[in-house]
């Protein structure tokens, strides 16, 4: 039997990761309930909660169940076993899902109907609607549906992860005289989950019918001569973490391609059924998937709300969506990229800071396009974590290789849920002669770095782009991130050294400016926290502000506690999970934690230390988590230009600390309270940045 593993710090000092993740999704769901959020955006936020919960079950709950199956007694940082965490997560997740469908049915659907957007239940179909829907069923659905009767020659089918399925209770005999009391109908992914009705039939501008409603109504037509006693939609979520032993894999890409096919059929972790599902059928399904009652989620509505994510885009009602936003451009580029300015000349004049999505991602695209075409460019090196299935950046790299450049791309094949796209790009890049490297065994390459080597005046000069977010043009319109373009020779040398580590062999050399995981990033952060504590003990001003997505690493949290005890003023802006307890007397009196949830997903990581007046400011690809510090290749890079440092302080930190509309403040128990602008001047960080940086 495994012996309990204990962390060196008291478990009472920490909050649970999974419960913190549930609290984050509660904050996202509050956007769906908020009357200030445009109506169709409220529906989108509700879908985002479903997507987030899917990933939580696929990865976090899947991991808990693996630990329980292995009878692991390893304790979490907050001192809980996997069994204890699962029980608490189950209670919280059931409550969250119940609230989610209450918002959907009682708040959003009636409000949408008032606006002429109706999701029409089959109980209210009129004759004309029913005739059209039946015709759709016959034309579009029956040819691609494969009903499977359950009998000795037709065992329970393999059910894909998160696919929509129907369990049908039957009575009678079929054409061969066989009797079966149950069948399974799997809905192909090609079928839309929401079917639009012609406006004249819908009797409103936008009328939709759920695919599940159509199949419920006409399911008997799939079983001629038999009676359908019940038809119940269901959806199973499976453990989707990939188990690839990189040490044993002689070809990681081939091994990963084989493993991806198994992701759809991992161990089941959750069963969602319609609320009308009979107890007998629910128990039958649970037994088929090896699940218990705690894994069953009964929902009042479609079991796959995430598939409604597309609906707001299909409805032409701009008055019910966020107003259109046109990102701006930084100084020097604000005359428009259509004039095709020489970006290399601009960067030589001084560092260029891009703040997405408030400022356009186009300069990054144009920089790579210019590099691909420029005869003076000798080499391009780039890391790829997520870039999308169709990326203009990848096409530029392909053109660069075709133009004779030395192109090296470090592709992270293990980027969760982007593995297939990255494998595809790796193959296409190799076909044109790009040097494709899969990073370092045992470490995900999460750093965002681009290096361009250009011959100027007989010498080679380096240009670098470093970012907090992915090289993904679509998410750059949705995620808040910083990107820095620089021709600083020392930073260029650091970036060059990092690429040399990733593609070759040898000892890691000291870097002049960059902090790199797994070597120096966590140690430097802890040392800078401790330095602030020393300044506080000496009676000097001491201040830390840090913005990130997650805060979990125990040693870093403990350093923050020790700094707080001696008077360091610490503000933490943590979008998602946070294990630190703020405001606890004698432990964290001087630490405040807030979370910002709004139109854009807060994604940049910004670390500020007063440093006895030197005011050190770093941007990073890394959250303060054990995986980022010790199991990933990550970078933190300084903002050296005083003008740009001032911008980052204002745009990346101060606006967020002044926010009293999107901000949630955290208590020492892990509960969040939304800030409200009562007497104070209203502050909305995202709205302020849109007004300041947009066109």
DSSP notation for 247-274: TT-SSHHHHHHHHHHHHTTS-EEEEEEE
The strand pairing partners of 230, in sequence order, are 169
For residue 485, the 8-state DSSP code is E
Report how far residue 237's alpha carbon sits from residue 161's, in angstroms, rounded to the nearest whole number: 5
Catalytic residue (one of 216, 355, 356, 446): 446
Report the domain count for the chain: 4
Stated pTM of the model: 0.92
Q: Does the residue 321 lie in any domain?
A: no
From 282, 304, 326, the end of a domain falls on 304
Residues of the chain with pLDDT under 50: 1-6, 242-260, 263, 415
Q: Strand pairing of 406-411 and 435-437? A: parallel
Q: What is the pLDDT of residue 205?
A: 96
Q: What is the pLDDT of residue 171?
A: 85
Helix, strand, coil % over all residues of the chain, rounded to 5: 40, 25, 35
* 378 plus 430 within the same structural domain: yes
Q: What is the pLDDT of residue 226?
A: 84
The CA-based dihedral angle spanning residues 8, 10, 12, 18, taken in that order and rounded to the nearest 10 degrees:
0
Q: What is the pLDDT of residue 418?
A: 53
* 469 plus 345 within the same structural domain: yes
From 512, 538, 556, the end of a domain falls on 512
* 506 plus 591 within the same structural domain: no
* 508 plus 586 within the same structural domain: no
Told to judge if 446 belongs to the known catalytic residues of this protein, a careful annotator would answer yes
CB 328 within 8 A of CB 693: yes
Q: Does the residue 313 lie in any domain?
A: no
Q: What is the pLDDT of residue 521?
A: 98
Report how far residue 71's alpha carbon sits from residue 50's, in angstroms, rounded to the nearest whole number: 30
User: Tokens for 241?
Assistant: 């973490």
CB 522 within 8 A of CB 630: yes
Report how far residue 186's alpha carbon sits from residue 472's, in angstroms, rounded to the nearest whole number: 34
Report how far residue 506's alpha carbon sits from residue 440's, in angstroms, rounded to the nearest whole number: 12
Q: Does the residue 24 lie in any domain?
A: yes
Q: Which residue has the tokens 């956007």?
A: 31
Q: Does the residue 322 lie in any domain?
A: no
pLDDT digits (tens, 9 = 90+) for 104-148: 999 999 999 999 999 999 999 999 999 999 999 999 999 999 898
From 287, 304, 321, the end of a domain falls on 304
Report how far residue 69's alpha carbon sits from residue 541's, in angstroms, rounded to the nearest whole number: 51
* 485 plus 569 within the same structural domain: no
Query: Residue 264 is part of which domain span?
Result: 116-304
Q: What is the pLDDT of residue 542?
A: 98
* 480 plus 361 within the same structural domain: yes
* 507 plus 569 within the same structural domain: no
Q: Does the residue 597 lie in any domain?
A: yes
Say how many C-beta atoms besides its own lie within 10 A of residue 695's C-beta.
11
* 403 plus 508 within the same structural domain: yes
Q: Does the residue 326 lie in any domain?
A: no
Residue 407's SS3 state is strand
Say how many C-beta atoms besides its own lie within 10 A of residue 230's C-beta.
17
Question: Distance of CA 541 to CAs 538, 590, 614, 654, Å?
Answer: 9, 13, 12, 18
């Amino acid at each position: 039997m495994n012996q309990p593993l204990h962390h060196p710090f008291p478990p009472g000092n920490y909050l649970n990761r999974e419960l913190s993740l549930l609290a984050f999704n509660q904050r996202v769901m509050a956007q769906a309930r908020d009357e200030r959020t445009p109506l169709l955006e409220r529906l989108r936020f509700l879908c985002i909660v479903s997507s987030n919960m899917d990933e939580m079950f696929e990865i976090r709950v899947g991991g808990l169940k693996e630990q329980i199956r292995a009878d692991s007694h390893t304790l979490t940082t907050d001192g809980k076993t996997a069994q204890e965490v699962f029980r608490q997560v189950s209670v919280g997740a059931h409550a969250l899902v119940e609230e989610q469908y209450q918002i959907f049915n009682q708040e959003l659907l009636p409000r949408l109907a008032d606006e002429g957007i109706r999701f029409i239940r089959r109980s209210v179909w009129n004759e004309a609607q029913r005739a059209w829907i039946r015709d759709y069923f016959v034309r579009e659905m029956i040819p691609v549906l494969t009903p499977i009767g359950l009998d000795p020659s037709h065992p329970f089918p393999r059910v894909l992860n998160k696919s929509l399925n129907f369990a049908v209770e039957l009575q009678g005999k079929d054409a061969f005289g066989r009797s079966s009391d149950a069948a399974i109908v799997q809905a192909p992914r090609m079928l839309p989950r929401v079917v639009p009705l012609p406006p004249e039939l819908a009797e409103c501008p936008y009328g939709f019918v759920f695919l599940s409603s159509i199949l419920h109504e006409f399911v008997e037509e799939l079983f001629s001569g038999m009676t359908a006693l019940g038809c119940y939609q269901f959806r199973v979520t499976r453990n989707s973490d990939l188990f690839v032993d990189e040490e044993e894999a002689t070809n990681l890409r081939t091994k990963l391609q084989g493993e991806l096919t198994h992701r759809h059929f991992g161990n089941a972790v959750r069963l969602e059924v319609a609320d009308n599902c009979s107890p007998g059928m629910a128990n039958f399904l649970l037994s088929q998937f090896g699940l218990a009652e705690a894994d069953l989620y009964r929902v009042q509505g479609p079991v796959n709300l995430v598939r409604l994510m597309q609906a707001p885009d299909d409805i032409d009602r701009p008055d019910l969506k966020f107003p259109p936003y046109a990102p701006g451009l930084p100084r020097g580029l604000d005359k428009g990229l259509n004039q095709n300015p020489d970006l290399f000349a601009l960067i030589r004049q001084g560092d260029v800071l891009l703040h997405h999505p408030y400022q356009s991602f186009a300069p990054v695209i144009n920089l790579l396009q210019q590099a691909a075409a420029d005869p003076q460019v000798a080499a391009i090196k780039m890391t790829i974590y997520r870039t999308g299935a169709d990326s203009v950046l990848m096409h530029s790299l392909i053109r660069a290789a075709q133009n004779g450049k030395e192109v090296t791309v470090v592709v992270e094949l293990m980027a969760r849920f982007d593995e297939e796209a990255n494998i595809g790009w790796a193959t296409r890049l190799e076909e044109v002669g790009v040097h494709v490297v899969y990073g370092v065994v045992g470490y995900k390459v999460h750093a965002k770095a681009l290096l361009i080597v250009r011959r100027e005046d007989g010498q080679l000069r380096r240009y670098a782009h470093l970012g907090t977010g992915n090289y993904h043009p679509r998410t750059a319109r949705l995620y808040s991130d910083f990107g820095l373009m620089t021709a600083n020779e020392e930073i260029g040398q650091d970036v060059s050294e990092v690429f040399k580590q990733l593609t070759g062999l040898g000892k890691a050399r000291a870097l002049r400016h960059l902090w790199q995981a797994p070597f120096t990033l966590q140690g430097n952060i802890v040392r800078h926290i401790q330095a602030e504590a020393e300044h506080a003990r000496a009676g000097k001003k001491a201040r830390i502000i840090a913005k990130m997505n997650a805060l979990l690493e125990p040693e870093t949290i403990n350093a923050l506690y020790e700094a707080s005890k001696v008077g360091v003023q610490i503000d933490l802006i943590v979008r998602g999970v946070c294990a630190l307890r703020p405001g606890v007397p004698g432990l964290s009196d001087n630490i405040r934690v807030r979370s910002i949830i709004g139109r854009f997903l807060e994604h940049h990581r910004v670390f500020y230390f007063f440093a006895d007046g030197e005011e050190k400011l770093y941007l990073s690809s890394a959250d303060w988590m054990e995986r980022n510090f010790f199991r990933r290749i990550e970078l933190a890079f300084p903002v050296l230009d005083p003008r740009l440092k001032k911008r980052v302080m204002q745009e990346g930190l101060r606006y967020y600390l002044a926010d009293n509309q999107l901000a949630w403040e955290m208590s020492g128990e892990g509960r969040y309270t939304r800030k409200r602008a009562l007497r104070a001047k209203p502050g909305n960080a995202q709205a302020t940045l849109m007004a300041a940086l947009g066109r």
